[in-house]
């Protein structure tokens, strides 16, 4: 309910609340799942962290070992002193790249947009109002994610999240050992160049496909050409958060306990059909997490409930049609989390 309260009362519009895109699917973990996670906590690795795990994982926070990476050593020290909701938390002062070495790094006026890449002029001219600019340039020491895990003796992640402002593919290329055991990966992807020469969505999609992953969901972010038109517009697809999951035929060598956590993640993201499929393919999962009853209950929803839901959908459809648009120049699927 906290997410809904924030959206309704703490922000001018609900887009500012950045609602979890799986809000309507998040689960309340049942007893056997809780016991399993106490013995086998979820390991999350976040490259390009903002100091907290994605809210989509909120039901797992108390059972999560969360490893965050930030190149700023002082910021890591500050984060490590703060209270947190996780089973364990570490912020590590590394700048993650393809390999060890140095790279130029551009500090933007809006620090959260800082990148190895310079701003793309077209994006600056068309989709922004002169505020997507470099403030200073520095040199950074880089290290691959595979090397960091070996150096720190860290557990390999079940869930990997990347948001590095254009360099996500380079991070992936230096993390193939980590990816080999991960079951779910969320990556910020761009559909047009926000940064000069950056890899785009199709480059990341091909890489992940070659690693044995399917695209499960895309949280889209749309923006309009605000520098040339300040009226209401639908806007176009600019970037998004791509959720990838390991394919059911690419799970050889993945431990049963890791597969069990994958099933729980799939359920939490609303991918209950895939979770049920994995339970059928791997009968040894049921004694660990007891998910069959939960999934079967979702599969056997009553006819009356489905009929009632369809009538409610018609009312929502009518209301959205009468509203026509929400008037935001930037919008995302997080503004309507029923998907």
User: Does residue 144 register a pLDDT over 90?
Assistant: yes
Output the CA–CA distances (angstroms, integers) from residue 275 to 132, 154, 286, 297, 325, in the order listed.
41, 27, 11, 13, 35
Of 192-196, 206-210, 308-312, the range with the lowest mean pLDDT is 308-312
Secondary structure (3-state) at 252? coil
Band the pLDDT of 320: cuts 50, 70, 90: confident
Band the pLDDT of 44: cuts 50, 70, 90: very high
- Domain ranges, ordered by start, for the chain: 16-335
User: Does residue 218 register a pLDDT over 90?
Assistant: yes
Q: What's the pLDDT at 339?
A: 34
- Beta pairing, strands 134-144 & 101-108: antiparallel
Q: What's the pLDDT at 336?
A: 63
Q: What's the pLDDT at 329?
A: 82
Structure tokens, 76? 């890591």
The tens digit of pLDDT for each residue in 151-189 reads 999 999 999 999 999 999 999 999 999 999 999 999 999
Q: What's the pLDDT at 337?
A: 45
Residue pair 48/97 in contact by the 8 Å Cβ criterion: no
Q: Rounded mean pLDDT of 57-67?
A: 97
Question: CA nearest 96: which of 145, 60, 136?
Answer: 145
Q: What's the pLDDT at 233?
A: 86
Of 24-28, 60-64, 252-256, the range with the lowest mean pLDDT is 24-28
Determine if residue 301 is left, alpha or beta; phi over 0 gives left, psi from -120 to 50 gives alpha, anything else beta: beta
The tens digit of pLDDT for each residue in 233-256 reads 888 999 999 999 999 999 999 999
Q: Which is more confident, 77 or 129?
A: 77
Q: What's the pLDDT at 284?
A: 96
pTM > 0.75: yes or no = yes
Question: CA nearest 99: which of 51, 159, 142?
Answer: 142
Average pLDDT across the chain, whole number: 91
Q: Which is more confident, 28 or 255?
A: 255
């Amino acid at each position: 309910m906290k997410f809904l309260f924030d959206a309704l009362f703490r922000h001018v519009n609900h887009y500012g609340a950045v609602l979890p895109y799986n809000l309507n699917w998040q689960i309340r973990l049942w007893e056997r799942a809780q016991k399993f996670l106490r013995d086998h906590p979820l390991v999350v690795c976040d490259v390009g962290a903002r100091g907290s795990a994605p809210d989509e994982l909120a039901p797992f926070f108390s059972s999560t070992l969360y490893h965050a990476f930030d190149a700023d050593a002082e910021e890591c020290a500050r984060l490590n002193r703060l209270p947190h909701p996780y089973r364990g938390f570490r912020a590590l002062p590394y700048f993650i790249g393809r390999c060890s070495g140095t790279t130029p790094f551009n500090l933007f006026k809006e620090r959260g947009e800082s990148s190895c890449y310079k701003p793309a002029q077209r994006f600056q001219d068309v989709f922004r109002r002169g505020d997507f600019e470099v403030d200073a340039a520095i040199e950074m020491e880089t290290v691959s994610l595979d090397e960091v895990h070996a150096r720190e003796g860290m557990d390999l992640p079940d869930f990997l999240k990347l948001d590095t402002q254009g360099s996500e593919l380079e991070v992936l290329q230096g993390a193939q050992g980590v990816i080999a055991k991960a079951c779910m990966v969320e990556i910020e992807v761009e559909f047009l160049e926000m940064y000069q020469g950056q890899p785009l969505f199709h480059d990341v999609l091909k890489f992940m496909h070659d690693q044995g992953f399917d695209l499960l969901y895309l949280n889209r972010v749309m923006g309009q050409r605000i520098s040339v038109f300040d009226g209401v517009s639908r806007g176009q697809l600019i970037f998004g958060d791509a959720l990838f999951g390991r394919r059911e035929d690419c799970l050889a060598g993945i431990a049963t306990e890791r597969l069990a956590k994958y099933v729980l993640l799939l359920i939490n993201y609303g991918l209950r059909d895939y979770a049920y499929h994995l339970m059928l393919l791997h009968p040894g999962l049921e004694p660990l997490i007891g998910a069959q009853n939960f999934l079967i209950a979702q599969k056997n929803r009553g006819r009356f409930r489905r009929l009632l839901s369809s009538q409610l959908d018609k009312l929502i459809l009518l209301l959205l049609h009468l509203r026509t648009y929400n008037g935001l120049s930037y919008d995302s699927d997080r503004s309507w989390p029923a998907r």
